[in-house]
Structure formats: C-alpha cells, structure tokens
Structure 1
Amino acid sequence: MPTILTLYEFSEEQAEQIRDIAPDYELISATTKEVTPEQIREADILVGWNRKTEEAALESDRLKWVQAWSAGVDYFPMDRFEEKKVLLTNAGGVHAIPISEHIFAVLLAMTRNLHGNIRSQVRGKWDKGGTYGEASGQTMVIVGTGHIGRATAKLAKAFGMKTIGVRHSGRPEEYIDEMYKTDGLEQAFAQGDVIVNILPLTDETHHFFDKESFSRMKKGALFINVGRGPSVDTEALIEALDSGILSGAALDVFEQEPLPEDHPLWKREDLILTPHVAGNTDHYEERAADIFIDNLKAFVRGETLPRNLVDYSRKY
C-alpha cells in the first residue's frame, strides 16, 4: 500500500481530508526525532524534511514527491531529486502576511525612531533626539515580487508609498507601480527610499547585494532583508552603513545563523536585528497543510501539482 509520511501533525479534520482524497494511501505520522530510515525509504510522499531524512530519502526507489514545510528550498538536494524524478513543492505563500507585516513593523519603527526610543528606554534616558520621518510619500523598491512582495506592495500602497518592483522576468504585478528586470537595478535603486530584499537563495542571488549594489542606492536609504542571509555581503552592508549610503537596516536573516554573540552587527544603533522570525505565525500549520491538500488532489489524479512546484532549473 503506498504511504504518505508526514513529519508534521495534521489536525484530525485535515487527516480526514487527506484520507478522503487519497483512500488508497496509508497516512503515517512521525516526529523528526522518532522517524526511522525505514519509514522514510518506504514513503511514496514525504511531508517535511530535515538533514536526518536526506540520506534515507535519496536511497529510496519509492519516493515520488516531497512537500517542504518551508518556502525556501535552497537546502534540498535538488540535483538528485531531478535525477530521481522526485517532485518538490514548497510552502510559498504561507509567509506572505506575517513577513509583509514584519517588513512594515521594522519600517515604521525605524521611520518613527522607535528603535532609538526603545534603546533610550532600556537606558532610562529621556532623549528626544533622532530623526522622525513618514512612510507616506516614500518610494519602496521590492526585490523579489512573489507572494510576499505582492503583499508588501499592497501594504505600501495603503501607506501612500510609491512601489517599484524588481524581478527576473520584468512581468507586471498588482500593486507595483513600476517593474524592472534585474538589468534595471541601477534605475530602480536610485529611486528607493526603502529597499526590501525578498530574494530566494540561488547561485545567481548569492551576494546579490554587494558593494556595487549598495553604491547604486539612493543616499540615506533604509535596507530591509527578509530574504536569505547569503544574498547580502555583510561586509559590504557595513561599509554602506558607515559611509552613509544607508541610513539604517533591518535584518531578519544573516550569512551566519545564529549570529555570533561577538558579531559587530549587535552593537550598531542604526540596525534592528531579529533572529529569523519574520515568517513565524500561529497560522503557519493551517496554511501549509492547505497547500499540501490542494497538491494532493492533483497528484492522485496524475495532474501537474498546482501550487509551488519547484523548477529545478531555477532552484526555486
């Protein structure tokens, strides 16, 4: 009997849906600590992934599809999956609301100098210093305009901001006033009061934000990174802050995680640092399960998976 092995706990209602959609499959649930290599090797569909599962999954001759519980898939063995004809889908879209709200949380905090006020509070100081600006009327450049970029642009329009998008294809997107291909970065960056990085990590995007990229930005811009840590050259970022190219930055992801306690970024007062939590939400499990269930309906019918099928040639 073919099996669906999930490393995440579905609700009873979700489990019933899965059994109704795929009555010929056995649904097996196991925690990441308890799952055995034998269970992984015998799975036809695997929901979830970690380093422990990789060796057994790649040994399997049965595995046909892996549903990732994350949006980023740069840590998956995609070349081997492609070779073995294993499908991979991610949880893209789950994070659109929490990450777009996180972007605006840090944007408004830095625009209204809340980060400075909070530091003064901790020190017990009544300090009215600092700059107090407004989001309204500013231009936001969103690099990576998928689910999260679109949700971010929608919020930006509600705050009266102009929105510029950058994507590989240059295809227009709702809530984006102007869209540029990556070869139009210089023109896009020159207009940006706020630059938001939502890029996935691929060979092409590693250190996408380097010294040259920062040099193209409008002086005094705010940089927000909720994409992938290695897409930003940390040393180049520090140089851009020191030189005044950037007025500040909000970073949720880093080249090295956890960020070492002695890292110079911790001591900077022109930064807001968060420990890779922008996508955290109490709605995560429900939304990720919905993606899997929609894909499962197509899978059992032998159809192309409709949601978040990873293109191995693009690595996302």
Structure 2
Amino acid sequence: MIRLSRLVWSPYENAADRSAEAALLSSMARLVGPDEDAEVLVTTSNRAVDAETLDARPSARLVITTTSGYDHLDLAALADRGVAACRLPEARRDAVVETAVSLILAGLHRHGTLRARAATGRWARAELPALAPRCIRGAPVGVIGLGVIGRRMAEVLTALGAEVWGSDPAGLPPGVRPASPREMVRNCRAVTLHCSLTPSSRDLVDGPLLEQASGPALVNTARGRVMDPLAALRALDAGRLCFLGVDVFPTEPWPGMAEVRRRPELVLLPHAAGYHDGLSALVRAGIAKAVEAFLAGEEPPHRLC
C-alpha cells in the first residue's frame, strides 16, 4: 500500500474533516505524518513544495494541491525529479464564480453607496439617476483567465446576458470575444480576474494599466500578486473604477482591510471566495480521485506536470 502525507491542512479543516478523509483513503493509502517520506504528498497554498521538500521525500511520485492556484509548487523541481502534480480547481469553482458575480452586480448597482446612505437614515431613491446603477445584460464584461473557473464564469455571465470578452494565452471557449486587459479596462462594464499566478500574469493589473480604465467594476478572486491593490485603490479614488472587490492579496492577512470604512464602493474579503459548506467533501473526493488514477497508472485530473 502506498503512503500519503498531508503536508498541511487548511485553517478551516477540522478534526471531523480529517477523520472523514482518512476513512475515505484508508483502502488506497497508508496515511503518514507531514515530515515523513511518502509516494503521494497533499498540500495547500500555505505550504510550498520545492526542491528541498522533494529531496527530503525521495519516494514522492505525485503531489496534489487541494487548491486551484499552484504558484506554491515548483513545477521545474517536480519535473526534474519525475514527480507528477495536479490540482483541484473544481472544489472551489462554483463558490468563486458566485462570489465574483455577486461582487460585480453589487458594484454595478451601487449597493455599497446605497447601503452607506441607508446607514445614516437617508432615503436615497431620488438620487438613483445620479448614481446611475447599471445592468450587466447587453454589456461587455472582461474575464482574464479562462481555465476551469474562468470558463464557468464566462458561462454564467453569458446566461445573464453579458457580452463576454476574454484573455487567456491557452485559448478561449466559443462565444468569447478576444480582448487584451487594456481593451477591457477601457471598454468593459466590469473586469474579473481568474488567472493563475505565472511570470506573465504577475502584476498584470498595475498602475499604468489602471490609469487607462474608464470606470469599470474590478474584481480579483484569482491570486494576490496578479493585481496591485494599492494601484487599484488609487484608481477607485480617482473615479477610474466604479467598484473594487478584492478577495486575494499580495500579503495575507492584508493590513489595509479597514480601508472599507471610508469607501462604500469597496469590498475586501479575507481570501474567502472559494469557501463553502461542501468544500471539505469535494476536496477529499478530489484527493481520492487523484490517488485512484495514480494507482491505476492513469493521468490524474487537472495535471500540471
């Protein structure tokens, strides 16, 4: 029987989750400690897997990250040692999409400003023409990154009647109009980020890009270092963005969470978009599926290398 090592657990995975995962995997693998050698290593974005990690575990043949993002995996070191890696983007896909859609809609319909005025006892109905709430139907919405999560986002936006513009070096699904990030911030009603963090996407949304923005809602539920949050705040203050929703940050915990107090059209979330009440069950099912493929000599789902 192969050995499986959970290098780290997510903060929200409790004792019941650990017991359920152990029971599900018991017929396929012997679970060992986080510092022990094993054929299968399971990690999260809180624990990097690099050359040092692999050299300390020479039996490793498969690394599973329970996340969608994979910038914490050294793919070159994995490939050099003949170790396969895969991820579990579907576990969080729908929660991330629902969060991103809810942020975009709240931003376009000016819910933050209306809520702030309601909190002071102000009935702002007569101010609606000046606030100019906008619908998503018929409007261009940019999606940067069209992998597993981005494609589902495009499907949902299309169902809502939006004209979806997309940017992804791996290609676009049918019905999505190709566009650059610059074209999106200039012309789209909203722009939502769903790309992985790679050398080409690092700081993709920065100050120079946002200086060209013409007032879209901007949402980042991808990776923190894809966007410069301080540049985005400056763009919001300057009126170049009508709304800013951020779930991921270059440094976490992000020290500027209190900025929401003085900006009604700003929502900052504590890296929460992917969490939902069924997440742990989907994660352990995804781990089991990857281990089953490994034991059968098949390629694991969503293989990275």
The letter of the residue matching 2:176 is D
For residues 115 and 158 of structure 1, the distance between their equivalents in structure 2, rounded to whole angstroms, comes to 25
In the alignment, which residue of structure 1 is the partner of 2:61?
64
For residues 258 and 266 of structure 1, the distance between their equivalents in structure 2, rounded to whole angstroms, comes to 17
In the alignment, which residue of structure 2 is the partner of 1:213?
209
With over 3 angstroms needed to count, the CA separation of the structure-2 counterparts of 1:237 and 1:71, relative to structure 1, is same
C-alpha displacement at 1:18, in angstroms? 4.1
C-alpha displacement at 1:108, in angstroms? 1.6
C-alpha displacement at 1:79, in angstroms? 3.5
In the alignment, which residue of structure 2 is the partner of 1:314?
none
For residues 262 and 142 of structure 1, the distance between their equivalents in structure 2, rounded to whole angstroms, comes to 25
Identity of matched residues, %: 21
Contact 1:136–1:159 (CA under 8 A) maintained in structure 2: yes
For residues 216 and 134 of structure 2, the distance between their equivalents in structure 1, rounded to whole angstroms, comes to 12
Contact 2:150–2:195 (CA under 8 A) maintained in structure 1: no
For residues 172 and 10 of structure 1, the distance between their equivalents in structure 2, rounded to whole angstroms, comes to 38
For residues 48 and 265 of structure 2, the distance between their equivalents in structure 1, rounded to whole angstroms, comes to 39
In the alignment, which residue of structure 2 is the partner of 1:177?
176
Gapped runs of 5+ residues in structure 1? 30-34, 312-316
1:5 aligns with 2:5: yes
1:152 aligns with 2:153: yes
Aligned to 1:97, the other structure's residue is in SS state: helix
Please tell me the root mean square deviation across aligned C-alpha atoms, in Å. Answer: 2.7
With over 3 angstroms needed to count, the CA separation of the structure-2 counterparts of 1:52 and 1:228, relative to structure 1, is closer
Aligned to 2:68, the other structure's residue is in SS state: coil
CA deviations 1:90-116 (Å, max 9, x no partner) are 111222211111111111212222212
In the alignment, which residue of structure 2 is the partner of 1:284?
279
Q: 2:304 aligns with which of 283, 303, 310?
A: 310
The letter of the residue matching 2:203 is H
Q: 1:225 aligns with which of 216, 220, 223?
A: 220
C-alpha displacement at 1:16, in angstroms? 6.3
With over 3 angstroms needed to count, the CA separation of the structure-2 counterparts of 1:121 and 1:190, relative to structure 1, is closer
In the alignment, which residue of structure 2 is the partner of 1:140?
141
Gapped runs of 5+ residues in structure 2? 10-16
For residues 241 and 15 of structure 1, the distance between their equivalents in structure 2, rounded to whole angstroms, comes to 47
Q: 1:46 aligns with which of 28, 35, 41?
A: 41
After TM superposition, the structure 1 stretch with the greater mean CA deviation from structure 2, 291-300 or 145-154, is: 291-300
Aligned to 1:249, the other structure's residue is in SS state: strand
The letter of the residue matching 1:179 is P
After TM superposition, the structure 1 stretch with the greater mean CA deviation from structure 2, 101-110 or 111-120, is: 111-120
For residues 196 and 54 of structure 2, the distance between their equivalents in structure 1, rounded to whole angstroms, comes to 24
In the alignment, which residue of structure 1 is the partner of 2:97?
100
Aligned to 1:95, the other structure's residue is in SS state: helix
For residues 52 and 98 of structure 1, the distance between their equivalents in structure 2, rounded to whole angstroms, comes to 24
For residues 62 and 261 of structure 2, the distance between their equivalents in structure 1, rounded to whole angstroms, comes to 41
The letter of the residue matching 2:239 is G
With over 3 angstroms needed to count, the CA separation of the structure-2 counterparts of 1:80 and 1:177, relative to structure 1, is closer
1:78 aligns with 2:79: no
What's the TM-score, normalizing by structure 2?
A: 0.83
For residues 52 and 68 of structure 1, the distance between their equivalents in structure 2, rounded to whole angstroms, comes to 10
